[in-house]
Structure 1
């Protein structure tokens, strides 16, 4: 049975509140007390012993990337880039942990299981108390963490690799508003993977603020969460079009563009509804070319993979490095980059 905060407090001779401050890396605890609490937590098995980050001991640096499974093409492209770029570096051993992406307890268990096993972790994480606790446990065991695509605040981490999602949402709102132009009141709808992802929540906030500030004639009639699944996105879109046949615009915050695009085409609404989505994939390229999607806001998975590996590796080796975060890029039919 796993030890509790009360067990650690009793064994270390401090209060449970002090243990909580130490384990959550808060200020207000003397260094000697902090060391005693951490040593007790390790002795009781609450935390693993510090993992040796020495390349000499292992031959290679082990990095684990915890990514959501499913039909999200951007995640698949990111995974592919992490594996291929990692394979080019002989001193790295990269492992992929693919899990059900919308279950915080599954994610937390996966992160806890990596304590004492890995030397660095990259994760696309839900912002949830159990996940934050698992990330703190990893960090306290000496494992640097990088959040990818969607950040989590108030947890120790080596860095965030991804775009400014609030800015991305504002950009999407501006594009949709400019495409639709001024005129009578018109309906628009939002799709999201899950607002449990801080990145999706930030995009929604940015989008709503721009609409409220600059395009008050646009009425957001619905927000549907589709768990980044193309079939679910298709079904929700079909139902949405039946409820609102006069819909004028769609912003898809996450994945599922293929399902929404298919539903638009089948309903004969592809040319009348302005559609703004994220990530340049094979399906979004096709929809850009045939006019189903009007604009795609892209973050380059190759750059994201490169930077995540760089931050983790250089943090482990305690080396200085320059971080070059991925930039927002808007892609239309006329500027689709070469593969």
Structure 2
């Protein structure tokens, strides 16, 4: 038989009114009493659990702020969030805000439309002092926060959902070095935006492994394109002209289509090894057509599901932070492209 509010009150020595306030996330209970109530509720099996994360006792209102733009991965992520949330009884509502850019100003403008009913927010944003201040104000207003894809450790988020981006960059460098088999020469790097901590970490990891294990490979150009395909196309064309024997190209963020277009048009005698991130309809085609050699995928569906679960878990938990657990990236080659 399921435990009741009265059972929880007896277990932790508090009134049923206090227990009710805590379970329904209403003000009027101290931090210490919230801790006592949630511990008792967990012990008595009152709260539901998903993937070892305790969930809230009442449906929650969730909102996500994503810089979707023309980015296929962001489109897929938003679609998976909406689909998964719609199938969970403990999600009362789920709203996706499409940010008009990656600047803190774009986030501030969008946050002003945040519903007063919101219990939890998921966000992809740049790591900037103004961004951290916006997120801090949100959490101080009683909203739980989860960062997705690119972390902001100094923000008071309850969890980060995504891959270890530094490890992803190191993996890209290891693959690049192994593909090139000891050849000596130049590489090009196309960086989405170093304002994203995740992109900065990937670049750091990539350069670190090159220095440690492949000193025969040198990054001759590293262009920041702010995830604009036209900019990545121009940067790749320039790199291919300047280095006719360019050995490899690493795309740190978006802008993959510009690189693929440049490779198609120039048709170099020996195609450079092309490594990028995120399995989308577009990158599936690059693998099949032998334009891309490997895609390091962070799994949009899994990030979407975990972001919803982690938000629900943070709403149920009295602890400020949940246990950190990275999503494992997938290495996708032409021969193991999964069914869409």
**1:141 equivalent in structure 2:** 141
Structure 2 unaligned segments of length 5 or more: list them: 1-30, 32-55
**TM-score, with length taken from structure 1:** 0.78
Q: CA deviation at 1:231?
A: 2.7
Give the CA deviation at 1:110: 2.6
Does 1:96 find its partner at 2:96? yes
Deviation at residue 192 of structure 1 after TM alignment: 1.2
Q: Return the TM-score normalized by structure 2.
A: 0.78
CA contact (8 A) 1:304 1:325 kept: no
Alignment of 1:273-288 (within 5 A): 273-288=272-287
- Measured against aligned partners, the alpha-carbon deviations of 1:3-49 in whole angstroms (never above 9, x if no partner) come to xxxxxxxxxxxxxxxxxxxxxxxxxxxx9xxxxxxxxxxxxxxxxxx
Rounded to whole Å, the distance in 1 between the matches of 2:77 and 2:326 is 15
Counterpart secondary structure, 2:193: coil
Q: Distance in 2 between matches of 1:132 and 1:299?
A: 24
CA displacement 1:305-325 (0-9 Å, x = unmatched)? 100000111222338998864
Give the Cα separation in 2 of the matches to 1:220 and 1:325: 28
Which residue does 1:338 correspond to in 2?
A: 339
Cα RMSD for the two superposed structures: 2.2
CA distance in 2, matches of 1:272, 1:122: 40
Output one character per residue of 1:145-176: Cα deviation in whole Å (capped at 9) or x when no partner: 10000001122111000000000000000000
Q: Distance in 2 between matches of 1:331 and 1:319?
A: 39
Correspondence list, 1:65-104, <5 A? 65-90=64-89, 91-104=91-104
Is residue 245–residue 270 contact of structure 2 (8 Å, CA) maintained in 1? no
C-alpha change, 1:92 and 1:117, in structure 2 (3 Å) is closer
Q: Is the 8 A contact 1:270 1:291 kept in 2?
A: no
Task: Name structure 1 gaps, 5 residues minimum.
Answer: 1-30, 32-53
| CA distance in structure 1 between the partners assigned to 2:332 and 2:68 by the alignment | 26
**Inter-CA distance 324–167: structure 2 relative to 1 (3 Å threshold):** closer
Equivalent residues in 2 for 1:195-274 (5 A)? 195-269=194-268, 271-274=270-273
- The yes-or-no answer on 1:125 pairing with 2:125 is yes
**How big is each residue's C-alpha offset from its partner over 1:260-303, in whole Å with a ceiling of 9 and x where there is no partner?**
11110111038520001001111111111121101110111111
